[in-house]
Amino acid sequence: MLSHIPTYAAKYGLDNSICGDCPLKLSETGSCYVNLLTPNNIYHSYLTGNYPRFSEKELALLQHYHYPIRLGSYGDPTVVPLEVWEPIVLASGKYTGYTHNWRDTNSLWKQYLMASVHSIPEAKQAQSQGWRTFRIIAPDAPLSDNEILCRHTEDDRNNCSTCLLCDGKSSKPNIADKVHGLNWKVSNFLKYLESKSN
């Protein structure tokens, strides 16, 4: 069905069941960094029966090798039930993840995910509710006292799979990162930040 194709759903605002009410969606501010051609290809493979199902075999491999995982490469991880994610997360033991749905979701997610926020008041609100935060900032914006810059931005020899700072509730610091990506997406994000500050 056409409306199920990721690029079509995103363009026409039919992606709530994937992205929730994230303000960065293509149909809203159009600043999400995800290149939707990848989910399109995955969806096509799924339709043609060529997308492998995650099975006990993969779970056993994760338990053995503890490969680091990211909870979701497109969309909000909380749209998939926690009981689906949890065995995978626990088998790996090394994970990163983010949600824009932190205001409304089950608080058990705090142990695995960062709250995605875009302003200091939003960050404070999420932190007061027990979340660690990941705040996207303008390239020249200062950090808050309780934030550090993303380790990859600090030094591109670091990457998420070894850094693993963005792994939800712990005593680790909150993270901020400078907006990056395609110029038009960055520009849309900066306009969004400006509209929120007015």
The CA-based dihedral angle spanning residues 148, 142, 177, 109, taken in that order and rounded to the nearest 10 degrees: 60
The Cα angle at residue 170 between residues 190 and 129, in degrees rounded to 5: 60
* Residue whose C-alpha is closest to residue 19's, from 84, 72, 81: 72
Q: Does 96 bind ligand SF4 (CB under 6 A)?
A: yes
Select from 62, 71, 115, 165 the one that contacts ligand SF4 (CB under 6 A). 165
Residue 82 one-letter amino acid:
L
Q: Does 143 bind ligand SF4 (CB under 6 A)?
A: no
Select from 42, 61, 164, 190 the one that contacts ligand SF4 (CB under 6 A). 164
* Residue whose C-alpha is closest to residue 97's, from 40, 48, 165, 20: 165
Q: What is the largest CA-CA distance in the chain?
A: 52
Select from 100, 110, 135, 151 the one that contacts ligand SF4 (CB under 6 A). 151
> Toward ligand SF4, which CB reaches closer, 71 or 91?
71
**Could you give the CA distance from residue 94 to residue 17 in angstroms, rounded to a whole number?**
26
**Applying CB under 6 A, what is the total number of residues that bind ligand SF4?**
12
Q: Select from 10-18, 30-38, 155-163, 183-191 the region that touches ligand SF4 (CB under 6 A).
A: 155-163
**Least gap, CB of 135 to ligand SF4 (angstroms):** 11
Select from 11, 94, 124, 152 the one that contacts ligand SF4 (CB under 6 A). 152
Tokens describing residue 158: 């670091």
Instruction: Looking at residues 56 to 95 of the shown chain, list those that interact with ligand SF4 (rule: CB under 6 A).
Output: none
Task: Kindly list the residues in this chain that would bind ligand SF4 in the complex (CB under 6 A).
Answer: 96, 150-152, 158-160, 163-166, 175
